[in-house]
Structure 1
């Protein structure tokens, strides 16, 4: 089984997801957008499977810092560019289990994925 957790390390939700995986002895690779990078191809794959509106994190400070005009003119193309420029705008974590993508963290959801 191939498991990759995508995100940024100082995110509380990432910390919870990592803790769950470690407590359940689930081996995974952590992909840090800031250290390991984010390619347009990766982002395209996330968006293709999950949808750009799901992948875009509208609750974070990076999104809230956008101007009203930028928020009103968001579409897949502009959202992708914002996420490539600022990976913190990607909802976290994205969990890739054998090419099946899951977004966000809830213990119940992870229990279901790994049962």
Structure 2
């Protein structure tokens, strides 16, 4: 199981702690593989971009209109996190629904 996020993100740390055996891949050091990112965008749509982040608020208005995958490629911290790849099944965020789904797998 791979958790894509940021090593200094509290939510990502909670996910790593709750999922023994999972590895955290910091998206600033190693970007999410294109195939995984494309699958995540197909599944989650534009919610893959965290529009509540500081990075988003600091982007100029015209830059925000770019394609979500291009924005994430240029600014990895824009991705909502964590993005969890559990053997090909993708989960976004660390809400109760994601925690319950991963507890059963």
Give the shorter-chain TM-score range. Answer: 0.7 to 0.9
Unpaired runs of 5+ residues, structure 2, are none
Q: Is the 2:50–2:80 Cα contact (8 Å) retained in structure 1?
A: yes
Runs of 4+ in 1 over 4 A off after TM superposition: none
In the other structure, the counterpart of 1:45 is: 39
Say which structure, 1 or 2, has more relative contact order (CA 8 Å, 6+ apart): 1
TM-score, length-normalised on structure 2?
0.84
Alignment length (residue pairs):
104
TM-score, length-normalised on structure 1?
0.77
Unpaired runs of 5+ residues, structure 1, are none
| Partner SS, residue 45 of structure 1 | helix
Deviations 1:9-36 (A, max 9, x none): 0111111111212xxxx31122111222
Higher radius of gyration, 1 or 2: 1
In the other structure, the counterpart of 1:89 is: 78
| Partner SS, residue 84 of structure 2 | strand
CA RMSD of aligned residues (A): 1.8
CA distance in 1, matches of 2:90, 2:36: 12
Matching of residues 1-115 of structure 1 within 5 Å:
3-21=1-19, 26-51=20-45, 53-71=46-64, 73-74=65-66, 78-107=67-96, 109-115=98-104
